[in-house]
Structure 1
């Protein structure tokens, strides 16, 4: 089988990794390595994996699942990125203070360099869940995580952050053209509808593409979406695991912002709460 043609620049090619993650960390690393192989075969520039891609338990993720940035999961991301040239954004779990862990997203460029870490600011204390019992929140005033891939700047949020428009706006103010939202969006009444609606809203109000990648499996909705800056859904998955690939056109992103200069017209700025 021949390899797909590379993206026509200025497009950036993204593989959406809607994987089903278990509490078996070795098996999850194998799953990630396989996703990298698919992304490389498709000549992708960026692989996006969901929240908690290193390990997941639908009843709650805590310190038992944590490992440092130098541990096996992030080391695998860096090694596979360097070997394939595919950048990656993926959720993991880091050690926190005391008995707590940190819900984090790491960004690794195509050379294997760890560009940065986003520590989840908004903990999911809603709909009967209490992440704050197991996790510590990241600092609200930390610099936003933005990574340049093939001429497009990707800014990072995760999961529950999608419900807070100021989080997205702050990342856009840091230069993001596209918002990447790894998630393990909990299933439940209206939850899949909320997920899709919020992803579209964040795209429209920020004239930014949104790459929202959900975990598949028991207790989570899957349903990853890629939304254009005009709010048009260009890619949408169902509940099942899958790897899908899409091209984002940087010139088209810029054209939407030129026609709809709402970012330039706004009269308020986002200031982190103390």
Structure 2
């Protein structure tokens, strides 16, 4: 049954922080943001890529299936606080590698997951050594709209976001761990805004925070919400932060009616 199209604005939250080596400690960070987002009146919480375990650590020994204890606890938190939670985790791929997975759940009626299609084999890094690529794009219905999923390096591939828009996604959740480097923060902001225009949708890019204590940071912060015309509606700084923004889906529908590039 198709979800009735939403006509009223709602609030979404992005939880920006640094994932460490302990999945249980990272779950406590998830819980903290779930509680805080619910207190802010949000209906959707997007958390970073690799929230389960930071990229500085090999995910293969600690990866869990979708019905494992880590994801099950996320479902419990989402259900208890009435939120749709979108979060990055790792699950076994079956070939000795893992899938870099985005889980979306409200702990009740909504359950979807996306395995990262475009792996970060760039800038001297080979994510594919540890990670198997996903094979399909994902959209699902929740909150009276259709939501698309993508993660991190996917943001460099415009066709993925155009495809999500054509599939009806009115917002795209983009958990990310955007490795720091020369002009990387500038690229991140530009790409999120461009992909919002490609999909004619809201794009909620939630990055890991910049870790000033680490030798190489897997996040620059700067989580942001971009609207369907590429405008920045809310943007975080570089440190840990809960970013909250209002989303009016009528803006998506008006943009697509006036500039019909997805047909």
What TM-score, normalized to structure 1?
0.87
User: Distance between the aligned counterparts of 1:250 and 1:98, measured in 2?
Assistant: 41
How far does the alpha carbon of each residue in 1:137-179 deviate from its partner, in whole angstroms, 9 at most, with x for none? 111xx2x322333223220000000001111122222210111
1:239 Cα deviation (Å)? 1.0
How far does the alpha carbon of each residue in 1:21-74 deviate from its partner, in whole angstroms, 9 at most, with x for none? 10111111111111110111112110100100111133x543123111112221
- The answer as to 2:254 corresponding to 1:255 is yes
How far does the alpha carbon of each residue in 1:216-265 deviate from its partner, in whole angstroms, 9 at most, with x for none? 1331211101001011101111110100211100112211222222222x
How far does the alpha carbon of each residue in 1:185-229 deviate from its partner, in whole angstroms, 9 at most, with x for none? 111011111111111111112221111110113312111010010
How far does the alpha carbon of each residue in 1:94-114 deviate from its partner, in whole angstroms, 9 at most, with x for none? 0122321110001113x4345
Match of 1:137 in 2: 133
Root mean square deviation, CA, Å:
1.6
User: Distance between the aligned counterparts of 2:204 and 2:75, measured in 1?
Assistant: 21
User: Distance between the aligned counterparts of 1:114 and 1:65, measured in 2?
Assistant: 25
- The answer as to 2:117 corresponding to 1:118 is no
- Paired positions, count: 252
Q: Name the CA shift for 1:9/1:171 in 2 (closer, same or farther; >3 Å).
A: closer
Match of 1:87 in 2: 84
- The answer as to 2:150 corresponding to 1:153 is no
User: Distance between the aligned counterparts of 1:228 and 1:53, measured in 2?
Assistant: 25
- The answer as to 2:46 corresponding to 1:48 is yes
User: Distance between the aligned counterparts of 1:160 and 1:138, measured in 2?
Assistant: 13
User: Distance between the aligned counterparts of 2:91 and 2:115, measured in 1?
Assistant: 9
User: Distance between the aligned counterparts of 1:114 and 1:215, measured in 2?
Assistant: 25
1:81 Cα deviation (Å)? 1.1
- 1:186 partner SS: coil
Unaligned runs of 5+ in 1: 1-7, 265-274
Unaligned runs of 5+ in 2: 1-5, 212-216
Match of 1:205 in 2: 198
Match of 2:3 in 1: none
User: Distance between the aligned counterparts of 2:172 and 2:198, measured in 1?
Assistant: 12
What TM-score, normalized to structure 2?
0.91
| Contact kept in structure 1, 2:178 and 2:220, CA below 8 Å | yes
| Contact kept in structure 2, 1:226 and 1:236, CA below 8 Å | yes
User: Distance between the aligned counterparts of 2:77 and 2:7, measured in 1?
Assistant: 24
- 2:125 partner SS: coil
Match of 2:20 in 1: 22
- 1:254 partner SS: helix
- 1:262 partner SS: coil
Match of 1:268 in 2: none
User: Distance between the aligned counterparts of 1:68 and 1:206, measured in 2?
Assistant: 30
1:9 Cα deviation (Å)? 5.8
User: Distance between the aligned counterparts of 2:146 and 2:33, measured in 1?
Assistant: 22
User: Distance between the aligned counterparts of 1:69 and 1:216, measured in 2?
Assistant: 25
| Contact kept in structure 2, 1:25 and 1:54, CA below 8 Å | yes
Q: Name the CA shift for 1:156/1:252 in 2 (closer, same or farther; >3 Å).
A: same
Match of 1:36 in 2: 34
User: Distance between the aligned counterparts of 1:227 and 1:124, measured in 2?
Assistant: 23
